[in-house]
Structure 1
Amino acid sequence: MEQTALNLIAIGIFGMTLSVLLGPLLNISPIIPAAATFSILGLATLDNFNFQGKGGTLLLDWLAGTKSEHRDRILYHEAGHFLVAYILGIPITGYTLTAWEALKQGQQGLGGVTFDTAQLSPNALNPGEIRLTLDRFCVVWMAGIAAETLVYGNAEGGKEDRVQLRNALISFGYSATDYPVKERWGILQAQTMLEENKAAYEALVAAMKERASVVDCDRIIQEYSHNSPLTPNP
């Protein structure tokens, strides 16, 4: 099952348990919490099989979105992806900061920055270009985790970023033992770029918060940033 569906089921079970405990004190009929719980479970199952968990993602994102830290974490995370991609010359095609925005653009998840990944195709590269191009994408995928860690001291997002990195490594013939090394290296490279371009990053965060266009975001970065070349990959 999708994680969002499991979360909805957990909410339903918790709600039913709480209602059983508090029902007698509040004079609530046991039929009401039972019906509500079964409804939640039914909707979670329907969403998982018919809508690939998108409904649950929207609901959970809306509930979490009432907390300013949740919204800000997503903003800082995606701004990290955006800035590092720009610095490394990877074309950015768009970005979203909520599950609803992502759904409207045909994407999954709680938000994200979309790139032109055509250059990552093995068929589009000669052997000498493969490693450098993959390294650049490794850093971009890890940039959201790096940004959250710099701002908050830890990262709550990044699961999908790690999946993308591992899938790319598999497609290029890397072994499972290479994954953690590439992840750590990518995070360290991204942290360095974010720290060296702090002014550009802060300006970009402010612009993305107001949903500035990709063109305007590019212009803002160009005004504040300087190039940060990659250091050798282990």
Structure 2
Amino acid sequence: MAAYLLLALLNWSLIDSVSRSIESVYVQEDSVRTSKEMEIKTSPEEDWFSVVQHESGHFLVGYLLGVLPRHYEIPTLEAVRQNVSNVTGRVEFVGFEFLKQLMKDDVDGQMNQGNISSKTLNNFSCVILGGMVTEHILFGYSEGLYSDIVKLNDVLRWLGFTESEKEAHIKWAVSNTVSLLHSHKEARVSLAETMAKAKPISTCIEAIESAISTHQI
């Protein structure tokens, strides 16, 4: 019972930490990003490690929710060492094609309200937060990768969410994402190791399933 209560407290602390980070992005997106980048001095190896962990969070949450990853990219350590600008990773998923319409509306300056299923929105919200939550679990903060939060905000605005609806939905998504990643931490570690080697998606999925099978009670 005591262990359960301790885990619950840790989860709530983590949820609060992520939620406050998201709120800071909304309030002062540019200044917060700049201050973070100035405060946190890291080596190329640490930067590369952070990117791998971040993308593994996206990948794992998507897979666990039944959203199939179709492609992923992890920068090489050498690229990070050469200080190539905007060196980041990415994971693309089947089923999030609505993002193309959102971007088109944004470029065209249209105010059309989007429409997607609640399941798609819920899955997308958890997946997009997977990277940031992973960083908070490992490091206690997110190292300036706020584009995911901006994208989630754009989607919710596109769908016509009010500010209070946005806040409630994001808190729900953070809570669920924290739970998923805490429950499958061994799978995420194994997945990150596999992604760091740029293995095929099929091998990444095998790493997840093997870890889950091994640690099942």
Q: 1:157 to 1:143 in 2, by over 3 A?
A: farther
- CA 1:172–1:121: 2 relative to 1, 3 Å: farther
Distance 1:120 1:149, change over 3 A: same
Residue number in structure 2 paired with 1:118: 97
Q: Give the Å deviation of 1:97.
A: 2.3
Give 1:31's aligned residue. none
**Identical-residue share of aligned pairs (%):** 25
SS at match of 1:177: helix
Does structure 2 retain, via aligned residues, the 8 Å contact 1:146–1:188?
no
SS in 2 for 1:225: helix
Residue 73 in structure 1 maps to residue 50 in structure 2: yes
Cα pair 1:143 1:186 within 8 Å, conserved: no
Q: Which ranges of structure 2 fall in alignment gaps of 5 or more residues?
A: 1-29, 35-40, 80-85, 102-114
Are 1:132 and 2:119 an aligned pair? yes
RMSD: 2.9
Compared CA separation, residues 181 and 157, structure 1 to 2 (3 A):
farther
Question: 1:223 and 1:81 mapped to 2: Cα distance?
Answer: 19
SS at match of 2:72: strand
Deviation of 1:118 (Å) = 3.0
Bigger RCO (CA 8 Å, 6+ sep): 2
Deviation, structure 1 residue 70: 1.1
Q: Deviations over 1:119-156 (max 9, x none)?
A: 7799xxxx8x7112201110100111110000111111
Query: Structure 2: how far apart are the matches of 1:180 and 1:109?
Result: 30
Aligned partner of 2:194 in structure 1 is: 207
- In the alignment, the residues of structure 2 paired with residue 119 and residue 218 of structure 1 have an alpha-carbon distance, to the nearest angstrom, of 25
**TM-score normalised by length of structure 2:** 0.62
Could you report, residue by residue, the CA deviation over 1:195-215 in whole angstroms, capped at 9, with x for unpaired residues?
Answer: 111111111011011111111
Matched, 1:195 2:182: yes
- Report the residue type matching 1:111 in the other structure: G
Q: TM-score, normalised by structure 1?
A: 0.58
